[in-house]
């Protein structure tokens, strides 16, 4: 993926995460249906990451361009990719800085995993089916990670131990650790977006609310459980990667526990926010492009030294999109034309030096006399690349034989995408 594409993708993901945050604030922030709240965050972030990578280009269809004498239509040729060697000296500065900070966050994630592995290796384990209680001696609050519950029973009153185990087992049963791992991985790439961190914080809060809800379904002594979490929240320093008893969440958790009834209309708010989210994300993810057929890329290296200018004149007569006998290039089909482009196109030196690349759409007409006419860029990238694409198409003049409709030579319009890519 080229540098500009990487930047575009990262920005689209960041915008998507921002939209998820805004919709969360508007519709889901006060929701006490924690399963829906969690699902909204996870689906929103997943769509923000996936859609920009897989969303197709949106075709813009124009059946005709009206003039006083004629109608113009298009025949779509398969695109071709032109590559130029990059000496590596023009690596965009933003990618260097971005990569360095991303490496830091990747190192931090690995360090946290290593701390959990080290704590696990030195502790006593007690297995109960797929659930493992890890008894350690560190002065940290209880926390869970995957199917592991890390606990120092010496720092916990006997009356609270079962509450702790039930709470952490609720995290395990809901697979909350997988959410944390996902967000830790995404933080390597989205560290620059402050709303990403806010969304992660909200997700952790929902985890705690959901775990508390699971515990309270099994017992009726609400006040005893609240007393347990207050005392545990102020004991030691938590490991950020686990599901921990956390000080900053304590008051919010206590408030949520005192809400006896679920808010009405949760499913409606969830559905509405998800519909808005999907529409906005799809719009952001998709790129607009002229209508094309299914494209097949061919990578070539251009080595020619120039192009010949073609004198253009107004096209006489109707311009067709499909005719009984399509124009021929050098006695062959459209693939011969693509080979010609690959052998003769010039990657502009100035574009290569500046790291400019992208897809240029060229439209041209093969006239009834077999000439190339009306060569123009209908979607360009930069002046240098646009001109290179026009020049190489004009260079093909003299190699074409016209198309025929009902036995008469006619004008046929083509659209041809050329992709310029640096290596």
> β-strands 408-422, 80-84: how paired?
parallel
User: What pLDDT, on a 0 to 100 scale, did the predictor assign at position 417?
Assistant: 86
Report helix, strand and coil shares of the chain as percent, to nearest 5.
Answer: 50, 20, 35
User: What pLDDT, on a 0 to 100 scale, did the predictor assign at position 293?
Assistant: 35
Q: Give the list of residues 6+ apart from residue 72 with CB closer than 8 angstroms, or none.
A: 64, 65, 319, 365, 413
Tell me the C-alpha distance between 161 and 237, whole Å: 18
User: What pLDDT, on a 0 to 100 scale, did the predictor assign at position 19?
Assistant: 94
Which candidate, 55, 41, 58, places its Cα nearest to that of 9?
Answer: 55
Tell me the C-alpha distance between 231 and 214, whole Å: 20
Tell me the C-alpha distance between 272 and 284, whole Å: 19
Q: What is the DSSP string of 6-17?
A: HHHHHHHHHHHH
Tell me the C-alpha distance between 234 and 139, whole Å: 11
Q: Provide Rg for the chain, Cα atoms.
A: 31
Q: Where, residue-wise, is CATH 3.30.1150.10 in the chain?
A: 298-422
Give, for all 423 residues of the chain, the pLDDT tens digit: 456 677 888 899 999 999 999 999 999 888 888 899 999 999 999 999 998 888 654 433 333 332 333 333 344 556 666 666 555 445 567 778 888 999 999 999 999 999 999 999 989 999 888 899 999 988 888 889 999 999 888 878 777 788 888 888 899 999 999 999 999 999 999 999 999 999 999 999 999 888 888 888 876 567 777 777 766 665 544 445 555 555 556 667 777 776 666 677 888 999 999 899 888 888 887 655 444 333 333 333 333 333 344 445 567 788 888 888 989 998 887 788 888 888 888 888 888 888 888 888 999 999 999 999 999 998 888 889 999 999 999 999 989 999 999 899 999 998 888 888 876
- In this structure, what are the phi and psi dihedrals at residue 105, rounded to the nearest 5 degrees? -70, -35
User: What pLDDT, on a 0 to 100 scale, did the predictor assign at position 235?
Assistant: 54
Tell me the C-alpha distance between 254 and 244, whole Å: 15
User: What pLDDT, on a 0 to 100 scale, did the predictor assign at position 58?
Assistant: 43
Q: Is 174 helix (H, G, I), strand (E, B) or coil?
A: coil
User: What pLDDT, on a 0 to 100 scale, did the predictor assign at position 83?
Assistant: 65
Q: Which residues make beta-bridge pairs with 417?
A: 361
User: What pLDDT, on a 0 to 100 scale, did the predictor assign at position 226?
Assistant: 72
Neighbour-count burial of 194, counting CB atoms closer than 10 A to its CB (0-12 exposed, 13-18 middle, 19+ buried)? exposed
Tell me the C-alpha distance between 64 and 71, whole Å: 6
Residue 396 has which token pair? Answer: 């093909």
Tokens 């311009």 sit at which residue? 319
Tokens 């996902």 sit at which residue? 182
Tell me the C-alpha distance between 296 and 338, whole Å: 11
Tell me the C-alpha distance between 172 and 228, whole Å: 20
Tokens 């001109």 sit at which residue? 387
DSSP 8-state secondary structure symbol assigned to residue 264? T
CATH class of 298-422: alpha beta
């Amino acid at each position: 993926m080229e540098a500009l594409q990487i930047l575009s993708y990262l920005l689209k993901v960041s915008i998507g995460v921002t939209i998820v945050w805004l919709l969360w604030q508007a519709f889901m922030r006060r929701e006490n249906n924690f399963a829906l709240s969690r699902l909204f965050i996870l689906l929103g972030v997943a769509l923000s990451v996936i859609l920009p990578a897989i969303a197709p280009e949106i075709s813009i269809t124009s059946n005709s361009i009206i003039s006083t004498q004629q109608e113009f239509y298009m025949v779509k040729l398969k695109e071709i990719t032109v590559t130029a060697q990059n000496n590596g000296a023009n690596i965009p500065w933003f990618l260097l800085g971005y990569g360095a900070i991303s490496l830091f966050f990747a190192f931090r994630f690995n360090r946290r995993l290593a701390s959990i592995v080290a704590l696990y290796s030195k502790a006593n384990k007690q297995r109960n089916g797929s659930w493992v209680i890890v008894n350690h001696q560190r002065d940290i609050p209880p926390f869970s990670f995957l199917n592991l519950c890390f606990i120092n029973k010496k720092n916990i009153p006997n009356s609270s131990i079962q509450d702790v185990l039930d709470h952490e087992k609720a995290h395990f049963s809901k697979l909350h650790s997988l959410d944390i791992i996902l967000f830790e991985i995404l933080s390597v790439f989205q560290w620059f977006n402050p709303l990403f961190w806010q969304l992660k914080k909200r997700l952790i809060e929902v985890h705690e609310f959901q775990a508390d809800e699971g515990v309270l379904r099994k017992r009726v002594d609400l006040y005893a459980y609240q007393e347990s979490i207050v005392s545990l929240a102020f004991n030691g320093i938590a490991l950020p990667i686990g599901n921990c008893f956390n000080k900053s969440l304590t008051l919010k958790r206590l408030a949520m526990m005192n809400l006896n009834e679920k808010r009405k209309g949760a499913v409606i708010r969830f559905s509405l926010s998800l519909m808005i989210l999907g529409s906005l994300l799809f719009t952001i993810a998709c790129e607009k492009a002229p209508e094309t057929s299914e494209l097949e890329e061919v990578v070539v290296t251009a080595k020619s030294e120039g192009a010949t200018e073609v004198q253009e004149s107004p096209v006489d007569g109707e311009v067709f999109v499909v005719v009984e006998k399509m124009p021929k290039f050098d006695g062959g089909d459209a693939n011969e034309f693509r080979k010609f482009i690959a052998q003769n196109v010039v990657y502009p030196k100035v574009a290569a030096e500046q790291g400019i690349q992208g897809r240029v759409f060229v439209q041209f007409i093969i006239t009834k006399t077999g000439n190339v006419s009306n060569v123009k860029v209908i979607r360009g990238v930069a002046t240098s690349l646009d001109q290179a694409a026009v020049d190489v198409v004009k260079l093909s003049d003299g190699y074409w034989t016209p198309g025929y409709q009902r036995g008469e030579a006619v004008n046929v319009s083509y659209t041809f995408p050329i992709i310029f890519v640096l290596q």
